[in-house]
Structure 1
Amino acid sequence: MYLVGFDIAKVSLPDDLRDRPTREVDLNESGTSMASPIPTGTPASNAAVGSEVDLGSNAQRERRRRILDATLALASKGGYDAVQMRAVADRADVAVGTLYRYFPSKVHLLVTALAREFEAVESRADKSRLRGTTSLERLRHVLDMITMAMQRDPLLTEAMTRAFMFADASASAEVDKVANIIDRLLANAMVEGEPTDLDLKIARVVSDVWMSNLVQWLTRRASATDVTNRLELTITLLLAGRDQEPEIRD
């Protein structure tokens, strides 16, 4: 599903591209929360974010997996609005209260699901098999592959991107986790060894440009070709001359 099973090194580019329903979270056009993500009767202080819930037992890990699988399935069929907490609980075969114990809102659900997708990509990434002999070529290949994978399922991409872009401070840990995974994925494509702090900073700039253009594609303000061309310009400007041999002076 989605990025899971996605192998950066094997995918070929096409020629033209290289409920608690009464308290459910909702986002208005400005991205601000219109209702509390915590169900009635559940103190905010007791709401455990999915990454913080004790996942020591196999049953707990399996329950969490089913919840995230259900979230992805619902989002893939109906986008952000289709991910309702009661629907997720029913599909995952868990009680609504249990769902809220793992994830206090659908924003937490979707961002955590996005992190899991990118973790799967990162675990499969083998930089020795990336196409390209330069930093620019390898980074271009990784960006093209991830972008294509996300464009294949626009409803799911819309749901997870919307949650990621408009998450508030309560989901900062999940957002930071996703951002750091993307940074590492891009930085590792740029270098043969371990990425430096500068490599990670460059990767963060590329990631920010990529995410903003993904939003424009989702809102039909940019075509897939536009996204590719803008990313190409960005990485060319950032990495131009990076792999050139240093000039030898007498």
Structure 2
Amino acid sequence: MAARQPAAPMSSGQAARRVRILRAASDLGTREGLANVQMHDVAKEAGVAIATLYRYFPSKPYLFLAVLEWHIDQFLGGRDCGAGAGEGVDRATETGETLVALSGKLLGSRLLASAVTLSSFTEYTSDVPTRIDIVESALGQRLLGLLGGRADAATERSRVRLLVYCWWGVFVAMLTEEISTEQGNADLRMAARLIVAG
């Protein structure tokens, strides 16, 4: 039997409730790590019924994948996005610095970063299809804006996908300490130069 699809918030009250849940899960993930967070604890911390929690987030991995997307959206919403517009902007540098800063922000809490990373791997094997075109995500849209539409749409979308996949791989390597933060940041800057200029 296929898992139930998550509900989308329809009113401002429901949207606020969803954000409370994401904030509660984020706080608990930061303090406890993924293995120690229970859905009942998230519901209690958010001040919602357990049925409400499951209405929006059918599983713990789905919830923490949403936490990752929420953190990315919050981070990007607080950054200046002027680089996608003007002349003379070094798009490769701005793209690289955006990816470096995002990694730094997420790595600021290792337990939460581990929780959302493990959840992303788990969620890809679940029955609930959460995958969207990565270009339509908050990060994808920001990168698309930074590229500035210099080439045909298909090429720009391919570049965005390459940038996001590259960022994710380097982020995981930094999180697991396969590479140092300094090396990861250097790799992200190089990837941006190669992909944006290519």
TM-score by length of 1: 0.67
Unaligned runs of 5+ in 2: none
Structure-2 residue corresponding to 1:76: 30
Per-residue CA deviation, residues 171-200 of structure 1 (Å, 9 max, x unaligned), is: 432x42666322222222222789833122
Deviations 1:28-68 (A, max 9, x none): xxxxxxxxxxxxxxx865x341xx34x23343233222211
If you compute each CA radius of gyration, which structure gives the higher value, 1 or 2?
A: 1
Match of 2:20 in 1: 66
CA contact (8 A) 1:114 1:178 kept: no
182-191 vs 67-76, which moves further: 182-191
Shift of 1:82: 2.9
Q: Paired residue for 1:163, among 101, 119, 129? A: 119
Q: Which residue of 2 aligns with 1:234?
A: 191
Q: Which runs of 5+ in 1 are unaligned?
A: 1-42, 243-250
Alpha-carbon RMSD across the aligned residues, in angstroms, is: 2.8
What is the correspondence of 1:45-194 to structure 2 with a 5 Å cutoff?
47-49=4-6, 52-53=7-8, 55-128=9-82, 133-167=89-123, 168-173=125-130, 175-176=131-132, 180-181=136-137, 182-191=139-148
Read off the aligned partner of 1:105 and give its amino acid letter: S
For residues 73 and 151 of structure 2, the distance between their equivalents in structure 1, rounded to whole angstroms, comes to 18
Give the number of the structure whose residues are more often helix, by fraction: 2
**Most deviating of 98-107 and 178-187:** 178-187
**Distance in 2 separating the partners of 1:203 and 1:177:** 11
For residues 195 and 145 of structure 1, what CA distance do their matches in structure 2 show?
Answer: 28
Cα distance in 2, alignment partners of residues 207 and 95 from structure 1: 35
TM-score, normalised by the number of residues in structure 2: 0.82
Contact 1:111 1:178 survives alignment (8 Å): no
In percent, how many aligned pairs have the same letter?
24
Q: Is the 8 A contact 1:136 1:235 kept in 2?
A: yes
How many positions carry a matched residue from both structures?
A: 194
CA–CA distance in 1 between the matches of 2:10 and 2:65?
22
What pairs with 1:13-24 in structure 2 (closer than 5 Å)? none
